[in-house]
Amino acid sequence: MKLVLYSSLLLSLPVFAQTNLPSLIPQPQSVVMGAGQFTITTQTQLAVLTPIREVRDMVQTNLPGLKINDLAKPANNITVRLAQPGGAALGPEGYELVVSSTGIRLTAPQAVGLFYGLQTLRQLLPADRERPGFRFNNTLNTKALTTLPALTIRDQPRFGWRGMMLDVSRSFFTKDYVKRFIDLMARYKYNVFHWHLSDDQGWRVEIKGLPRLTQVGAWRAPRMGRWWDRPNPVPGEPQTYGGFYTQNEIREVVRYAQERHIMVVPEIDMPGHMLAAIATYPSLTCSGKPVPIYPNGKFYKVEDNTLNPCNDSTYIFVDKVLTEIAQLFPGPYIHVGGDEAFKGFWATCEACKPIMATNGLKTVEELQSYFIRRVEKIVQSKGKKLIGWDEILEGGLAPNATVMSWRGMKGGTEAAKQGHPVIMTPYQNCYVDLYQGDPSAEPSTYGMCRLTNSYAFEPVPDSVRAELILGGQANLWTESVPTTRHAEYMVWPRAFAIAEVLWSPKATRNWPDFVRRVETHFTRFDAAGVNYSRSYLNPFV
Ligand code: TNX
């Protein structure tokens, strides 16, 4: 009895000690606890020592209700400074955050570093900070709650590409929800929003030169349920499910992301996954046969959803679309998909025979490569760089392509060996649409990607030059994710794990400590009204 008591006491000691550690996700590069504490009160002033409007706005947004006075007072002060802090130089996204008994000092060489420092500071505040409408001056009656432990954090990311992808084609999400999605990304220091804007089940971006793409291609039969057993559309059925973003809405979202230091990468998936455009313009395929937009994911290899790569008018279409896409998205990249093009339709395509012969193409894989190379020229003519899923390796990579590796790490590893930049997003670790717990207790989907799998993700394979691995991303496909609550349930906490993999030094990864921190972030989500899943607690395998 005594023994048990002693051992449980001993065990509980380190746990107690741990509760003083801040619960930050992603874990910073270094956290050194100091002596004492600092309490934010209504008298605490904010000194933002730069006239840059953007910095002042971001400070005010993250610490609402505190007055900016611009004087670095000796005490009771939060000072934000744009400068390289002392010690070893921090990279462009780095920051130093010091909490001492006299105040808080945030220093970073660039605005983006200050932004990340503010996210960290925000996570040091109590969960109440995340309640909608929070302001310091109306919540400070719970004074003790805003007491922060003294500490010094020096931090910068491991990877420059920390992405999340949202598929808005299979299920449509409004502009306002997309902003909320971006907001949560920013909280966890993600910096790339990959917007999957077109697919078989809907075209979601207004193209002014091709208005029918959204008049026709954005609407389909309103079916829900499991994507693999939904019935096909009934001819003549009203096409009432859908939606799209106007160009003004797109610009608004891009600006919103920019304010949060997030680059938006648009994806127009081609030559496969094109049914929504093909339903609008049947002449885009080899057969030219009219097709409806299928609401499910199961027509693959059944209905031709693949652009005809052997017809110049296909490239005129691609050029028209990408001209407007390039103007809407100021970032350097356009993602052109390239995944899962069923090339069986090309093998029997009359138009392809002469093209293959003249260009010396022996296989349909080479034909796909021919297509992607032509599309790369179009992308480059708009001043952009091409990204594609790892299928673009088949038949030979386009000369300047960046590869997004989803079928495991193999494609990415091969692309890096050929000297191409790579973003790793293997489905086994990064697909947050897969089951995260016992399938019998989960909303219906397929495959398996547990929180442990996401946390164990290692983006750099042994055999490649590390600098070619730009980073990685979490992907939310939405065939089986019809609502925003459901989307959040799938994303969190797996996106916590991937945020940490992409930001934190590999050496700081620590599963038990991660789980402790995840639990406190659930409390923050409770305050914010964000949904999440606790399925990781169920160790069914
Ligand atoms: C494969 S991942 C796809 C998507 C589907 C996903 C289902 C990828 C590049 N293509 O079209 O949504 O599987 O998880």
Quote the ipTM score.
Answer: 0.94
pLDDT, tens only, 24-46: 999 999 999 999 999 988 788 89
Residue nearest atom 5 of ligand 1, based on CA coordinates: 477
pLDDT, tens only, 51-106: 888 999 999 899 988 888 877 677 788 999 999 999 999 999 999 999 999 999 99
Cα 330 to ligand 1 centre (Å)? 26
Residue nearest atom 2 of ligand 1, based on CA coordinates: 406
Task: Delimit the CATH 3.20.20.80 region(s) of the chain.
Answer: 161-537
Q: Dmax over Cα atoms in the chain, in whole Å?
A: 87
Q: State which ligand 1 atom lies nearest to the alpha carbon of 447.
A: 14
Q: Is the CB of 389 under 6 A from ligand 1?
A: yes
Q: Is the CB of 340 under 6 A from ligand 1?
A: yes
| pLDDT band at 10; cut points 50, 70, 90 | very low
d(CA 107, CA 112) in angstroms, rounded, equals: 11
Q: State which ligand 1 atom lies nearest to the alpha carbon of 170.
A: 12
- Architecture of the domain delimited by 21-155: 2-Layer Sandwich (3.30)
Q: Is the CB of 477 under 6 A from ligand 1?
A: yes
Cα 168 to ligand 1 centre (Å)? 13
The helix (run of H) or strand (run of E) holding residue 259 is helix 247-259
pLDDT, tens only, 361-371: 999 999 999 99
Q: Name every residue whose Cβ is closer than 8 Å to that of residue 155 and which is 6 or more positions away in sequence.
A: 28, 29, 30, 94, 95, 96, 97, 116, 117, 120
Q: What is the mean pLDDT of residues 324-353?
A: 95
| pLDDT band at 249; cut points 50, 70, 90 | very high
pTM of the predicted structure, to 2 decimals: 0.94
Task: Delimit the CATH 3.30.379.10 region(s) of the chain.
Answer: 21-155
Q: Which CATH superfamily is domain 161-537 in?
A: Glycosidases (3.20.20.80)
Q: Annotated catalytic residue: which of 340, 365, 366, 442?
A: 340
Q: What is the mean pLDDT of residues 150-162?
A: 98
Q: Is the CB of 406 under 6 A from ligand 1?
A: yes
Cα 494 to ligand 1 centre (Å)? 18
pLDDT, tens only, 161-202: 999 999 999 999 999 999 999 999 999 999 999 999 999 999
Active-site annotation holds for 340 = yes
pLDDT score of 238: 78
User: Rounded to whole angstroms, what are the CA distances from 25 to 53, 322, 467?
Assistant: 28, 37, 24
Q: Is the CB of 339 under 6 A from ligand 1?
A: yes
77: helix, strand or coil: strand
| Residue to mutate, 403, 477, 494, ligand 1, most ligand atoms under 8 Å from C-beta | 477
pLDDT, tens only, 308-318: 999 999 999 99
| pLDDT band at 231; cut points 50, 70, 90 | low
d(CA 493, CA 453) in angstroms, rounded, equals: 12
* Mean confidence (pLDDT) of the chain: 91
Q: Is the CB of 479 under 6 A from ligand 1?
A: yes
d(CA 158, CA 504) in angstroms, rounded, equals: 6
